Amino acid sequence: MHSRRTVLTTAAAAAAAAAVAGAVPAHAAPPTPGRQPVPDAGTLARLRRLIARMTPEEKAGQLFVMRVYGHSATDPDPADVAANRKEIGVANAAELIAKYHVGGIIYFSWAHNTREPHQIADLSNGIQKAAAAQRVPVPLLISTDQEHGIVARVGAPATLLPGAMALGAGGSAAGARTAGRIAGRELYAMGIRQDYAPVADVNVNPANPVIGVRSFGADPQAVARMVGSQVKGYQDGGVAACAKHFPGHGDTDTDSHVGLPYIHHSAEEWERLDAPPFRAAIDAGIDSIMTAHIVVPAFDPSEDPATLSRPILTGILRERLGYDGVVVTDSLGMEGVRVKYGDARVPVLALKAGVDQLLNPPDLSVAHAAVVKAMAEGELAEPDIDAKLLRILLLKERRGLFRDPYTTHQDVDRVVGTREHLAAADRIAGRTTTLLRNDGGVLPLSRRRQPRVLVVGADAAAPSGTGGPPTAVLAKALTELGFTAHALATGMTPDQRRIDEAVAALGERDAVVVATYNVSAGSSQRKLVAALLGTGKPVVQLAVRNPYDIARLDGVRAALASYSWTDVELRAAARVIVGRRDPAGRLPVAIMRADAPDQELFPIGHGLAYP
């Protein structure tokens, strides 16, 4: 079930070819430490025969991983059929597979793929049944973005775990591995065999609009330790892990979904800041690595995004780092990869750069036709395409898809959202909440001194099925801990009416917990906090996304960070707020002063404890 990853470096590829010819026995040489042995000759021969049977159209299709709307492979809701016809030209997943021979499908909650675990398992089985009906039957690699924390496509009753920065605050590599193993086992039971996680970006830029708490932190060596452990966890659980976003998206101030970010690190800075987590992932035997739509002029003066850059993907990732597992693009529908070239050139350039899998192009018909044309004209050489297909098929082989791609409701019930997994999630989360400030001993709140608590603040929508809103979750958790708590969601941009309402509601209560969300210089959340402080009542500020909020909140005497607004992290924060759990989290990033951004307010590793 959990076979090993293969590293096909140039030398290993030669050894594999010799093994196929019978020149050397399989596994004759010991593998490189932390990496995986060459597959046996029989497996290589069988997969190469499969590739040889494919037409150019089928080979091109196998390189794509595509979205599709609907909860069912053959009978989605009419609205999903309409969306599929408009965007892809098919009615459902089965037609997508039959028409384009895609090698993978990615699940999204917004595409209605992930309603609940039994439905997900049925959808996965329907997809694999459609794949088995092809002229050349190849099981599909079904994937999703289940990073946990603020990015989770599969919600409750699956187990929801702390996200990366929360795990970084907890500091336990064993905890990260356990979280990965639980996530992997549950995804596997639902027929999902690849998770686009962990994030290997080092978040050294507090203004990063797209990574932030999706990163384990700002210390490259600490991030590397957590990434390596979580890779092992996911793959222990049976799914392919995917480190993202190479060569490192942590020092950007532009979101590649909407623009083209630049990374201005020198080669030496990249080696020190960005490379360690990806090296750790490779040493841990990772199955796949995702590219970033970012420009790194130090490595490619053409200023092509990394996804389309041969100097970066082949020169650095494959040759310098020695990685020859599967390379998958970030979504080709993102603006960062579309600003320089048209949608027909992007997939061809990505394949030439060193990519194996093309994720979610905006127009599959255009992208597929472009790849087929480039193959016919010799721009994409057939041996190179076959090598990419072999990597993909070896990954599918390692993840058991050729042996048995199906799952059952019984598998789901045995694994998904079990008491054991839920308890483990709470234990892991219990180490993550960070107490940043506690002047005058405001915390912990006491049932004797502050029995009546108001909870106000941000009402960010949690990932589908993961709970929320934060105010309601916190109030419920505090009530279960013996307090009388009332929730009043004031939002991320409270107007004066909502601020006045919060102040009035606090009048008859003993303390207030205010959930803040990425407070900026001009945020009206600052006015809300100032008004609450003006009442003289104890005010507890909890940052429910990036932990930097305290730098802009003058006068706050009690401040914590939960690194997410999902239920498991908010329950953990509630236990800390009332003293049922000592705050154990330590900042995995530095918080800089708002009035002097070059000076630290709180350094990496900061975190207070109760007396």
What pLDDT score does 92 carry? 97
**Domain 10-22+46-415 annotated CATH 3.20.20.300:** yes
DSSP of 300-320: -TT---GGG-HIIIIIIIIII
Count of all residues that appear for the chain in the document: 611
Residue 463 has pLDDT above 70, yes or no: no
Record the pTM. Answer: 0.90
Distance CA 206, CA 397 (A): 40
Residues 159 and 179 sit within 8 Å (Cβ to Cβ): no
* The pair of three-digit structure tokens given for residue 329, joined into one six-digit string: 């693009």
Distance CA 464, CA 115 (A): 9
Could you read off the pLDDT of 529-563 as tens digits, one per residue?
999 999 999 999 999 999 999 999 999 999 999 99
Which ranges of 21-141 would DSSP assign to H, the alpha helix?
41-52, 56-62, 78-87, 93-100, 117-132
Which residues, listed in sequence order, are joined to residue 148 by a DSSP beta bridge? 151
Q: Give the pLDDT band (50/70/90) at residue 242.
A: very high
Distance CA 12, CA 425 (A): 39
Which residues, listed in sequence order, are joined to residue 66 by a DSSP beta bridge? 105
Could you read off the pLDDT of 256-300 as tens digits, one per residue?
787 788 888 999 999 999 999 999 999 999 999 999 999 999 999
CA angle 352, 355, 359 (to 5 degrees): 120
Q: What is the mean pLDDT of the chain?
A: 90
Burial class of residue 23, CB neighbours in 10 A (0-12, 13-18, 19+) = exposed
Count Cβ atoms below 10 Å from residue 34 Cβ, excluding itself: 14
Residue 21 has pLDDT above 60, yes or no: no
Domain boundary assignment for the chain? 10-22+46-415, 433-602
Residue 8 has pLDDT above 50, yes or no: no
Catalytic residues: 257, 330
Residues 583 and 435 sit within 8 Å (Cβ to Cβ): yes
What pLDDT score does 26 carry? 28
Summarize the confidence of residues 479-502 as an average pLDDT. 94
Listed in sequence order, the residues at least 6 apart from 233 whose beta carbon sits closer than 8 Å to its beta carbon are 176, 177, 178, 179, 180, 181, 182, 183, 184
Summarize the confidence of residues 340-368 as an average pLDDT. 95
* The pair of three-digit structure tokens given for residue 433, joined into one six-digit string: 């909440």
Pairing of strands 104-107, 141-144: parallel
DSSP of 351-370: HHHT--BEE--S-HHHHHHH
What pLDDT score does 17 carry? 30
Tell me the three state secondary structure of residue 599. Answer: coil
Tell me the three state secondary structure of residue 174. Answer: helix
What pLDDT score does 18 carry? 30
Residue 168 has pLDDT above 80, yes or no: yes
Count Cβ atoms below 10 Å from residue 110 Cβ, excluding itself: 10
Could you read off the pLDDT of 131-160 as tens digits, one per residue?
999 999 999 999 999 999 999 999 999 999
Q: Give the pLDDT band (50/70/90) at residue 429.
A: very high
Which ranges of 91-208 would DSSP assign to H, the alpha helix?
93-100, 117-132, 164-170, 173-189
Distance CA 484, CA 468 (A): 19
Count Cβ atoms below 10 Å from residue 30 Cβ, excluding itself: 7
The number of C-alpha atoms within 13 Å of 376 and in the hemisphere containing its C-beta is: 9
Residues 510 and 449 sit within 8 Å (Cβ to Cβ): yes
- Rounded to a whole number of angstroms, the CA Rg of the chain reads 25
Summarize the confidence of residues 430-459 as an average pLDDT. 94
What pLDDT score does 22 carry? 28
With CA atoms as reference, report the closest residue to 398 among 390, 409, 408: 390
Q: Give the pLDDT band (50/70/90) at residue 37.
A: low
**Domain 433-602 annotated CATH 3.40.50.1700:** yes
Distance CA 315, CA 7 (A): 16
How far out from the chain centre does Cα 292 lie?
13
Could you tell me the CA-to-CA distances from 180 to 138, 158, 195, 328, 387 in Å, in that order?
27, 13, 10, 20, 30
Residue 12 has pLDDT above 50, yes or no: no
